[in-house]
Structures are given as C-alpha cells and as structure tokens.
Amino acid sequence: MDAPRSPLFHFADSYRDADQYYLTGFLCPDPFAVLQTGAMTAIVVPDLEFNRAKRETKGLRVLPLSRFHRGNGVLYGAVTHFLLSEAGPDIRVLPSLPVGLARAVEQAGFNIDVDEKGVRDRRRAKSLQEIAAIEKVQRVTEDAMEYIRATLAGCRASGGVLQYDGRPLTAEILRSLVEVFLLERGMETTDSIVAPGQGGADPHWRGAGGLVRNVPIVVDLFPRDRSSRYHSDMSRTFVLGRPSSAVRRMHEAVIEAQDAALDRLKPGVALADVHRAVCEVFSRRGFGVPSKGEPLPRRGFLHGTGHGLGLDVHEPPTVSESKDILMPGDVITVEPGLYDRRVGGMRIEDVVAVTPDGEVRNLTRFDRVLEIL
C-alpha cells in the first residue's frame, strides 16, 4: 500500500495560473492559497472574494484570509499561519510557487518538496467532459476561420491590394475583426496570427501590413472559452487568387506530412516516431528538417509536429524528439509547417483527442483548401 503523500500547497491567481484553476475551479484575479490534504481541499481567499468563492465552488473548504492575519497585515505571514494551522512539517509545492513565499514557509519550519509532475500529469489525462469542452471551443474556432475566409473572399483588389470597407485590408484589421468575432461568442484570445507573405516564414510572427492577392496568409487561432477556460488551437493557410508553384508544392507536402502523422496516432505510439514520419515526408520532398545538434534549416520544417492542449495552449505531451508516449486522455495538436523567406509560410493544424477508453478522434472538421477563388 502506497504511503500517503504530503499535502500539496499552491499560491497564485487562477486567471493566469492554469494549475490553480485546475485545483480549485475558482476564477479569481488575486492570488489565493490552496491546500490539498487527501480528499480535502481548502482555499484561503481575500475577504472580498469569500462569499463569491463559497457560492461558486463545490466540495471546497473556503476560508477568509483575515482569519490568519496576526496584526501585521503581511500577506505571506497570513498564508504561513494558515499552513501552520492546517499542515504538518512536510508539504509539496508546485514549481511556480513564488520564491519569496517559499522562503517564508521554510523559515516557518516547513520542509518543501517541489512536485514537478503531480498536477501536470493529472491535467494531461483529460476526461470526456474536458475533451467536450475543447471540442466546443474548436467548433467556434472553425466558425472564426470560415469568417476569415469569407471576409477575404468578399474583398475586391486594387493594384493587387485587398480592399475592405473602403480601405486597404491589413493583417491588423483582419486580426481585430476575428478577435471581436470570437469575443461575441464567449471566447477570449490574444496574439492571433494573421501572417501574410514573406513574413509568414517566421512561425510566430503575428503579422502586419497589407494583404494582397496570390500570396500565402498563415492564420493561427488559439482562443479560450471564457466559461470552461479550455483552449482550441487551429492553423490554416489561405491564398486569395492563384498561388505560385512553390506555394502549391509546400501545401501538398504539408498535407501529406499531416496525413502521415494522423495515420500513426494510436495509444502507446512514441510521439517521436510521429514527428519523424513528418520529417521523412518533408525530406523526401526536398525540404530541410530539424536535426539534433544542428542549426535549424534556412528553409523547411522549423518546429515540432505538435503539443498538448488544454487549460494552456502549450502543455504536455510534445510531438517532437521527446520521450513522450501517446496515452488515453491526451489532447494534442498536429501542425506540420514549411517556411521559406522567399515566399512565406505554410501551416495546417488540427486538434486530436484520445478518449479515456483509447479512441483517437480528430476534433477538427475544417477543410484544408488553400485557394480562395
């Protein structure tokens, strides 16, 4: 029989710290304390959040911070007094615990063990309910992608430059339009990518400047549901008009590479093997691929094949040269891409879930058509 583990302690706001939200289900803009002891979870919140926390949480013991103040009003002192009243000398903490608080807790006599994997592994194993929450966001993201395509299709061109509402259409304008579209549907998003032309060869360039005919536009959307806090992540590349032969060749290669990855996804597969299958397609087609210990190629495939997805946009596992194995409960992206500073970028990204019973499901229904005619 396994020995009981020491209590798990964390202190953060749950707007920005996904672990804190996962542990408590309580959305709070100010830092608060959580302590998990066996089946019991207690949280200590600022007094102004006390009534809301009691109303909006289930199965938690909710305590006001003022109960633990000792007259000096120092936040870390109050949190330490809470621990002294609730936990023994040994506690586990998450790696993101503030250093100042960790030192205060140690000075109070606690032995701290940094738990690198406990919450990470729990978050990785998604339930059917969590997969459904991600799929809900994915449907809205696909609506947003279709909105982008329809907006581009509805633009006339003047001297090759797309015109929208009587003015040149820029990446900034299109990004603002789609982010408002998402906000109106209960999603929040920042730093969406609308990357036209040669600049799209930088995989994480947000995009700027005018949109023109016949050049690729990389679109990458990764909104979060304001209710469930789960993300989707989806990329498509569009060309309004006729792409060059070089762009067509890139698109065909990315489609084949993504299919090669999707065909290999099953529980127990080494995700490094999935990544290598993508690299093999690109190499056979004459594109550069990452090589361990070598600089990235000047043109070709510049990143991993995918990553985990959930309360954060990027979380375990990774689909790259890693030791990760695809397991039930995993939700991952599959996003091969090619980049060439002479013409731009080409990326296509789907979201794939492995249900707890081992069924592999592509949650993405959107087509992979390049041209908008």
| CA 324, chain centre distance (Å) | 17
Give the residue extent of every domain in the chain. 8-123, 125-372
Q: What is the pTM of this model?
A: 0.94
- What does residue 207 show for φ and ψ, rounded to 5 degrees? 100, 145
The 371-372 sheet, strands edge to edge: 193-196, 216-221, 234-240, 371-372
Nearest CA among 154, 148, 144 for reference residue 189: 144
Per-residue pLDDT of the chain (373 residues; tens, 9 = 90+): 345 689 999 999 999 999 999 999 999 999 999 999 988 999 999 999 999 999 999 999 999 999 998 765 588 899 999 999 998 899 999 999 999 999 999 999 999 999 988 799 999 999 999 999 999 999 999 999 999 999 999 999 999 999 999 999 999 999 999 999 999 999 999 889 999 999 999 999 999 999 999 999 999 999 999 999 999 999 999 999 999 999 999 999 999 999 999 999 999 999 999 999 999 999 999 999 998 878 888 899 999 999 999 999 999 999 999 999 999 999 999 999 999 999 999 999 999 999 999 999 999 999 999 999 8
Nearest CA among 1, 202, 36, 211 for reference residue 115: 36
Domain 125-372 carries which CATH code? 3.90.230.10
Helices (H) and strands (E) in the chain, counts: 9, 22
CATH 3.40.350.10 fits 8-123, yes or no: yes
* CB-CB contact of 195 with 216 (8 Å): no
User: CA-CA distance, 321 to 127, in Å (whole number)?
Assistant: 26
Per residue in 262-311, pLDDT tens? 999 999 999 999 999 999 999 999 999 998 878 888 899 999 999 999 99
The sign of the CA dihedral 59, 353, 301, 143 is negative
Q: Any idea how long the chain is?
A: 373
What type of residue is 29?
P
Per residue in 168-178, pLDDT tens? 999 999 999 99
β-strand pairing of 350-354 with 360-362: antiparallel
